[in-house]
Amino acid sequence: MGFKFQNVDFLHLDAGFSEDELLVRKTARGFVDDNLVPIIEECFREGRFPRELIPTMGELGFFGANLEGYGCAGMSNVEYGLVMQELERGDSGFRSFVSVQSALVMYPIYTFGSDEQKNTWLPALAKGEKLGCFGLTEPGFGSNPGGMTTTARKSGDGYILNGEKMWITSGSIADVAVIWAKVENEDNRVRGFLVETDRPGFSAKDVHGKWSLRASITSGLSLVDVHIPASNLLPGTGGLKSPLMCLNQARYGISWGAIGAAMDCYSTALQYAQTRKQFHNQPIASHQLIQEKLVWMISEISKAQLLSLHVGRLKDAGKVGHEHISLAKRNNVWMALETARMARDILGANGITDDYPIMRHSMNLESVKTYEGTHDIHALILGHSITGIAAY
């Protein structure tokens, strides 16, 4: 069942996009409609990540899309955002996989890595021939990454890593892990390391029983006396600022992705309301309460589109601040989750079935509201920005 997606552009924002931006969106939209939409409900039901789609995404340039060189597409940040929007319109967990590969694995190698590291990893990651994961969060430390207990100790010609990471997207399928650890010999300074996942002492175990992001792989990582050469240190890293820069890249993509999920929920709810008949054989879209919900949804989606587009333009101009990205991530994910809940109301009992994408989006967005900085943590970041006083 379900409905074919209808473009959501109440404010005619498409008129302000360049031909390249529209082409990028068309390409990503076609990929999602042709390849992901037909299988995503089955993948979600089975808890399966559709790895078979990785090569095509590599060919289309979706991995590290806004990076230059090394086989990357060199897209603008707005173009990259439009790709994230379309991928999350398909599924939040699927977009999460691309976000991690791009913003949390390729970006730190690109930004902090040596020439050898870039040449070794980036072309293969861009093609999807190699996969990566990002190890910052730990079982006991999520919102407070500075409390991490994972350690790196200099030993001879390299480092020995010990610790655990949790809630790691793609952990068990990754070829390389970007691991953040406190270096014991450097006053516990946080540094980034590239850890090939076939090294002795490294293991990954998937998290099962998830009601959210079921089409995405989530893992716990364990590092027990994992020895890596000194050349695996990301030389440009130093302090928590480095991993937070990576998170900023991911949060930017999330702000666009959440719009995609909301657009799918709104498009479904609108078409359902126009065809579902109740009371005197009239479509439920003719009723005031239904129209009020639809108006709220299109109003908030339109504001979110403007917000992410403006932040994207700022980012392309080199003028974006982390607080701008926090505002967009916080607002847009909240908006998307509320939109999903309202859409479920409109669909009634049908809204809980996987004949429609509503409940899947709703469950996924509960995770998106939490990861890459919770809704409340972003409130504190914004509070710090506007008052000058840190409340954390």
Q: Is 290 helix (H, G, I), strand (E, B) or coil?
A: helix
Give all strands (DSSP E) within the chain, no chain letters: 132-135, 151-155, 158-169, 176-183, 189-196, 202-206, 218-229, 277-278, 282-283
Residue ending a domain, among 127, 149, 182, is 127
Residue ending a domain, among 180, 200, 232, is 232
Q: Are residues 121 and 142 in the same domain?
A: no
Q: Are residues 141 and 225 in the same domain?
A: yes
Residue 244 token pair: 């937070």
CA distance 385 to 213: 31
Q: Distance between the two ends of the chain, CA-based, in angstroms?
A: 47
The tally of domains found in the chain comes to: 3
Predicted TM-score of the model (pTM)? 0.96
Q: Are residues 288 and 158 in the same domain?
A: no
Residue 233 token pair: 């240190």
Q: Are residues 361 and 290 in the same domain?
A: yes
Return mean pLDDT, the chain: 97
Distances (CA, A) of 37 to 48, 50, 65, 214: 14, 11, 22, 15
CA distance 322 to 382: 9
CATH code, domain with 103: 1.10.540.10
**In 3D, which of 256, 222, 339, 219 has the Cα closest to residue 65?**
256
Q: Are residues 222 and 171 in the same domain?
A: yes
Q: Are residues 253 and 376 in the same domain?
A: yes
CATH code, domain with 140: 2.40.110.10
Catalytic residue (choose from 21, 86, 88, 372): 372
Q: 1-5, 11-15, 57-61: which has the minimum mean pLDDT?
A: 1-5
Q: Residue 166: which residues within 8 A CB-CB, separation 6 or more?
A: 137, 138, 139, 220, 221
Q: Are residues 58 and 17 in the same domain?
A: yes
242-277 burial, b for 16+ CB within 10 Å, e for fewer? bbebbbbbbbbbbbbbbbbbbbbbbbbbbbbbeebe
User: Pairing between strand 176-183 and 151-155?
Assistant: parallel
**In 3D, which of 72, 69, 70 has the Cα closest to residue 61?**
72
Predicted confidence (pLDDT) per residue in 346-389, tens digit = 999 999 999 999 999 999 999 999 999 999 999 999 999 999 99
Residue ending a domain, among 232, 250, 275, is 232
Distances (CA, A) of 72 to 20, 156, 315: 16, 36, 18
CA distance 302 to 266: 12
Predicted confidence (pLDDT) per residue in 233-265, tens digit = 999 999 999 999 999 999 999 999 999 999 999
Residues of the domain holding 117: 13-127
pLDDT of residue 392: 87
Of the chain, the percentage scoring pLDDT greater than 70 comes to 100
Catalytic site includes residue 372: yes
